[in-house]
Amino acid sequence: MEVLRNVSLSSEKDKWYWFDDKQFGFSVKSVKKSLTAERETSHPPNFIWCKWLPIKYNIMAWRGNLDRLPTRVNLRRKNVDIPSVLCPLYNDYEETVDHLFTTCSVALQVWSVFSVWCNIPLLFFFEFKDILESHKLIKSGKKAEKIIYRLGIIACWCIWKGRNDTIFNQRKCSSSDIIREFKSRGYAWVKNRTSCKYIIWADWCKYPLYML
């Protein structure tokens, strides 16, 4: 009865309302706005989606930015019964999103080669979000920034894929395997999804921005 006292009735037709946007109703934009508002202030306010990368690459990076990837630490937080929370690549530290992509020995080697390959200052990351901002170090124009940003996401995907192969396929992943894979995947997507249709594999392997 106490609950019903605060209910006011009217002759209007019943309607469903989306709590965060009563004026326009439910939308993906309003959901994104709501999720962004609840994120910690340490995260960047927006994630830039890349149209010429597969959607699974974007979703992986987006989830990494929100610390929503199923790393071992995150699984343990959800009370999933797992034998260990140590990083599966080296078993040296707990596997968090930030550790796997920024401070794991494999990731450090990947980003070191990435920096030399792209002819940019040596990349040192502390959080996953730092990877998504690394393209800002490029001073060669917007097109170069876009390519570096996309290559960073591809590298993250290859690290995540290598981690999963180690766990589920018992196939030990090395930094050299990841490096070869992100170079080849990057070449395929840039060549087939951008205006850079005539890039050459040999030149790409030396420097991915040679055609700009």
HSE-up of residue 105 (Cα within 13 Å, Cβ side): 9
pLDDT at 143: 85
pLDDT at 91: 84
HSE-up of residue 66 (Cα within 13 Å, Cβ side): 16
Query: What distance, in Å, lies between the first and last C-alpha atoms of the chain?
Result: 71
pLDDT at 41: 47
Cα gap 97→152, rounded to integer Å: 15
Q: How many residues does the chain have?
A: 212
Q: Is the pLDDT of residue 120 over 90?
A: no
Q: Is the pLDDT of residue 1 over 70?
A: no
pLDDT band at 45 (very low <50, low <70, confident <90, very high): very low
* Average pLDDT for 11-25: 66
pLDDT band at 211 (very low <50, low <70, confident <90, very high): confident
pLDDT tens readout for residues 143-158: 888 899 999 999 999 9
Cα gap 68→75, rounded to integer Å: 10
Q: Is the pTM of this model over 0.95?
A: no
- Over the chain, what is the mean pLDDT? 85
pLDDT tens readout for residues 167-199: 999 888 889 999 999 999 999 988 988 888 899
pLDDT at 33: 66
Q: Is the pLDDT of residue 102 over 90?
A: yes
